[in-house]
Structure 1
Amino acid sequence: MPRPNVKEQLIQAGLKTLLKRGFNGVGVQEITEQAGVPKGSFYNHFESKEALGAEIVERYGMNSTRRAVLLDKTVPPLERLRTHFDALNETFVKSKFERGCLLGNFSAELANQSAVIRESLAKLFERWTKDLEVAIEDAQADGAVSSDRKASDIAAFLLDAYEGAVLRARVQRRRAPFDRFMTLAFEKILT
């Protein structure tokens, strides 16, 4: 039987605990306990909790399902965008609004605290914005979305608005912010 990958166990345990309690609310000991590995194993793979946090942000951004939905040229672009945001919404609703977006959570908690994590977040926001931009450009090319605004500006605005909707849904513990986002995004912005 193959040995479990300790680094992967630490990353998965870190993701789970950091999403639940926040970066500053979790120590290395709690992460290693969650992973079921000795504390010393942590430092064989990561020089610090900050290094683990940056790795988790990178992994979080490599969500191939999210990217595949947005970039699938066999599906009409507005349908790709709607499917993307609907799937995200359902993830947060299923968590009973207890779990936010790791990007939003880390941005609020760590942007002024960790340059390493801030840089990882900036790269991920840029990649996500670019993926949205591709779908919007495709919608503009087929006439489904007006070309009077740059696709990059629309993409950045949608991401900014969506992250705000996630925060508000967590505070209110209801899906109304998601519904408002979807209505305005698809009936007013993406027209």
Structure 2
Amino acid sequence: MSITKTSTSSDIAPSDITPLDTRAHLLAIGYQLIAQKGFTAVGIKQILDTAGVPKGSFYHYFASKEAFGEAIINHYFTKYKNRLETIGAQDISAQQKIYDYFQSWYDTQQNGCDHEKCLVVKLSAEVADMSEPMRKVLYAGYQQTISWLAEQIKAGWADNSVPKLDNIAAESMAKRWYFAWLGASLIAKISQTNTPLAEVWQMTTTEMGR
């Protein structure tokens, strides 16, 4: 199946940007740079130079770099929520929805293509002690995903596509899986191997009855 690439705000030349596009363009450029290099390594000047946007425009939309980072994370989780809703709306078993979600995580967290990797993995350890607003919005994003997973697990119990373990709540199982995947993704970055992801993938698929 061929996929036609559609343009994004990050593909737009600076001369083509209208005032209404500027905030979205800055967020897209900021996301790519921060996903590649980390929050502290990227300065406002680099963001502005890459985006082709004057300094005054940046501060029109964002009071500080911290506020910019918070907006990027919020924007990321808004899109992430839409992706979860798309998976959830499919006419397939709950087990298959969970499988598809973690399959996507496995595929995007393997070596290469940094800007495709999970922003949560990149920023979690970096900003947790640096910025309370950014920490809070990351935590809210975690909870959003864990809640979605718990809903799918409950649905899997209801349609008998996911095995139900004794004395384990759906929320607890969702947390275990999410925390395991987040940890494996961090270790994969440190080790520069996909082994941690392969291990947690095997664990998760076994527990979901695959």
TM-score w.r.t. length of structure 2: 0.83
1:66 maps to 2:84: yes
RMSD of the alignment, in Å?
Answer: 2.0
2:110 corresponds to which of 93, 101, 114: 93
Deviations 1:22-52 (A, max 9, x none): 1111111111112111122110100011111
1:3 corresponds to which of 7, 18, 32: 18
Work out the CA distance in 2 between the residues paired with 1:111 and 1:21: 17
Tell me, yes or no, if the aligned pair for 1:9 and 1:35 is still in contact at 8 Å. Answer: yes
Tell me, yes or no, if the aligned pair for 2:150 and 2:174 is still in contact at 8 Å. Answer: yes
Alignment partner, residue 129 of structure 1:
146
Tell me, yes or no, if the aligned pair for 1:50 and 1:114 is still in contact at 8 Å. Answer: yes
The residue identity in structure 2 corresponding to 1:165 is A
- Report the alpha carbon displacement of residue 173 of structure 1 after superposing the two structures with TM: 2.1
> How many residues were matched structurally?
189
Work out the CA distance in 1 between the residues paired with 2:114 and 2:39: 18
Q: Quick check: 101-110 or 157-166, which moved more? A: 101-110
Deviations 1:87-128 (A, max 9, x none): 122122263568642112222011111110011011100101
**Gaps (5+ residues) in structure 1?**
none
Q: Quick check: 111-120 or 60-69, which moved more? A: 60-69
Tell me, yes or no, if the aligned pair for 2:111 and 2:192 is still in contact at 8 Å. Answer: no
Work out the CA distance in 1 between the residues paired with 2:107 and 2:24: 26
Tell me, yes or no, if the aligned pair for 1:97 and 1:170 is still in contact at 8 Å. Answer: no
| 1:16-95 equivalent positions in 2, closer than 5 A | 16-62=32-78, 63=80, 64-69=82-87, 71-72=88-89, 74-93=91-110, 95=112
Work out the CA distance in 2 between the residues paired with 1:55 and 1:97: 20
2:192 corresponds to which of 146, 151, 173: 173
Tell me, yes or no, if the aligned pair for 1:78 and 1:136 is still in contact at 8 Å. Answer: yes
* Cα distance change of structure 1 residues 2 and 110 upon mapping to structure 2, 3 Å threshold: closer
SS in 2 for 1:26: coil
Work out the CA distance in 2 between the residues paired with 1:102 and 1:40: 27
Q: Which consecutive aligned stretches of 4+ in structure 1 deviate over 3 angstroms post-superposition?
A: 96-100
Alignment partner, residue 171 of structure 2:
152
- Report the alpha carbon displacement of residue 147 of structure 1 after superposing the two structures with TM: 4.7
Work out the CA distance in 2 between the residues paired with 1:73 and 1:145: 21
Work out the CA distance in 2 between the residues paired with 1:85 and 1:59: 21
